[in-house]
Amino acid sequence: MATIALTAQNGRQITPHAGRCRNFLVKRIHDGSIGEWEKRALEKSETMCGSGDALPAALRDVDVLITAGIGPGLQARLARLGVQVIVTDVLLPDQAIAAWVAGALLARPVVSRDASRDCECQCGSGRHHEH
């Protein structure tokens, strides 16, 4: 079984800024059967940027995170927590899940930015912001 979360700040598309995202679409896949979409929302204080070395409670069962953008620091932290991160240009959730199930979701590399400009949590936002 795999639990896949997609960053979906607007509730409709896969969005960037995974570390600051508060709205996720989640699917559970078990023995080839794909479950229904679940919407999971985080409080502002629960974002991945603000969650320290753990996943936010609403995302603790997640095995895979699909996003349109994430910083290298957060990606490394999620890897240590056992979460596979896929950064993609596919923005439609149903298409991304279908491609992931087929093993065809193409991931693009995380681009490292100038560390002096990045948020201290390394979410990749390219600017400092409040947590």
Tell me which of 17-21, 48-52, 98-102, 114-118 is least confident.
Answer: 114-118
Residue 87's domain spans which residues?
Answer: 2-101
* Residue 108 within any structural domain of the chain: no
CA distance 91 to 10: 11
CATH of the domain at 88: 3.30.420.130
Confidence class for position 129, pLDDT limits 50, 70, 90:
very low
* Residue 118 within any structural domain of the chain: no
pTM score, two decimals? 0.84
What residues are paired with 26 via a beta bridge?
A: 5, 38
Residue 116 has pLDDT above 50, yes or no: no
CA distance 14 to 120: 24
Tens digit of pLDDT for each residue in 79-99? Answer: 999 999 999 999 999 999 999
* Residue 124 within any structural domain of the chain: no
